Amino acid sequence: MKITSAEFICGAENKKDYPPTRVPEIAFAGRSNVGKSSMINSLLGRKSLVRTSKTPGLTRKINFFSINNSFIFVDLPGYGYASVPMEIRRSWAPMVNTYLTERKELAGVVVITDSRREPTEQDESLIEFLQFQGIPFVVALSKADKIGHSDRAALKGTLLQKWGDSTPVEFFSAVTGLGRKELWRRIIGLMANRRALTDNNRTIVTNSEE
């Protein structure tokens, strides 16, 4: 994918503040500090379009980025970080739930889990939620530069056993670029499916050809 432009559109907490765009969106979701923002920067070949941090839990809004003026990447706030104040943790679920269930432009979700660990309970419940809602997703295992080949193979085996063989799972490293091509292929697939669906169902209008 050749990136010709990548711009921050806005950050939103409520539905009324989502951008009025009609192009497909890919959302990035995962535990705080798992590497969501780094993954977006790496996919786009931009060093610091999205703010990354050693202090977890800093992304507290739903951040929209316009790519090539034809689709949008959405950086969702991270979940599950203990030191984030309780009122913010409480606001996470409704904020993200509303986005995932009500945003018509959502083409799919990249669920990011740490390749060095088994998925957490919250990772599991996010995946169950997406399966239940019928929202397409791909699992990206972040920070894969930190584990070796055999650990990767073992983890993938465990996850496919748990989630089913057809679950899309890709290893990714924002540091080495590992898995970038494969993840792009998945993302393009999610957007292509979405366009095919909207073409068949004319109740949703897209201007993705612009």
Ligand X SMILES: Nc1nc2c(ncn2[C@@H]2O[C@H](COP(=O)(O)OP(=O)(O)OP(=O)(O)O)[C@@H](O)[C@H]2O)c(=O)[nH]1
**Rounded CA separation 36/59 (Å):** 10
- Find the part of the chain contacting ligand X (CB under 6 A) among 6-14, 64-72, 137-145, 184-192: 137-145
197 binds, among Mg ion, ligand X, none (CB under 5 to 8 A by kind): none
User: Which of 23, 24, 44, 57 is the binder for ligand X (CB under 6 A)?
Assistant: 57
Q: Are 115 and 141 in contact (CB under 8 A)?
A: yes
In whole angstroms, how close is the CB of 133 to ligand X at the nearest point? 22
Among 77, 64, 79, 69, which Cα is nearest to 26's?
64
The letter for the amino acid at 124 is E
**Rounded CA separation 168/158 (Å):** 13
**Rounded CA separation 183/197 (Å):** 21
Binding mask 173-192 for ligand X (x = CB under 6 A): xxx-----------------
Binding mask 26-55 for Mg ion (x = CB under 5 A): ----------xx------------------
Residue 116 found at the interface with ligand X (CB under 6 A) = no
Give the three-state DSSP class for 167: coil
Site residues, Mg ion (CB under 5 A): 36-37, 59
